[in-house]
Chain A
């Protein structure tokens, strides 16, 4: 009994995956709350996908994958910032375009330059079971950075998250803090790529924070419970993947999705009170305020 449950964790490569996912959980849980609060889900998904050509280059030329991923992620973030400067709407279509451009570049590099073949699967889906020592160090470093930045900038991020307009009028300058947040998200997502892969990285960063958001309203409990949930889902998913021979990233993704749906259902039945007005800057509000049709 004991053996069948804890047996997998005696294997060294599983232990390394375990350390990795525990380190990642701090950064992913903390930043996840900011991603959900600030509506940055698409950005975080896009950063992960945009790192694809960097991973292909690293694989083809034989240098460390996180370096390639990090530079393409920064290139992506910088390019997006440059293109969307001065625009009030249409950020989402720009994000989508830059993202798909990067993926197309990655596909062409992979299929016509380096002939990466079956390595593509690993690049796209990652694996917690083939983690290197440097991946763990990188994850620990980004998590520490996320923790420090949350302590320093948390108040500003919170103010701009709830009400960008009045935050500006109250004199909260959010140029630098916002850039720090975007960079930090890029960095953390890069560090999670080798574990979760380009497409599934949102499982660690968005889904757990969205799940706990259903129950918790205050910032600190929300952050702590998100970290705990990422860690729990990561460990359980890793265990499931060893037991069933499924890829770990995908196992965690399914698990996180199932837990979210369960959470939504229990909350529906237990809290039957009137729904609160959306406190996150909703898409609806933004759309009404968006100054699209200027000259009609």
Chain B
């Protein structure tokens, strides 16, 4: 196929047959290898949720057929995370060459700090059943198209990160959100009690022996790995 190179009327054009190879009217992505930002051992982190609480469940009933007419009583406090909208401080990832208008980015991360697995219990101690979710494929190179990603998400919560060009720098932004009604991650404490039916309940919320309210789970998360940002220009 015949190739063609021309420079006329302010237009440089390279063609291979009918296919355009290079055209100043349709600029190629110019990447600047000397401007590439490579951050190894970079830590992408999100703090603990800032509003944790509990959901309280309680029940009491006579024990069927019990010769002493005793009652069974149980409480469960579930570990809950309440609504929040948190924008975390920006992180400066580095200086970009003047004229950069596009970032080609890829990442390779492994989670190094993880919230506890879900559906476990603090008291009595019981490990969670399901690993805390992640949108990052651990230890693999993911292309960050759009320079934004959801890092973790679940039913009614999410954590996001994106990289933008601001003031000649590549800036990492991070947010985390928990929606209205919050979400439950497991159990804080469960207790049971068997007592005379004439006894007053002791496990209700506010009773002297109620289940714990303190959700001590730490939901902070962190990923360690490499961010590689290649500055580009497509516009004149």
Q: Are A and B a genuine interacting pair, yes or no?
A: no
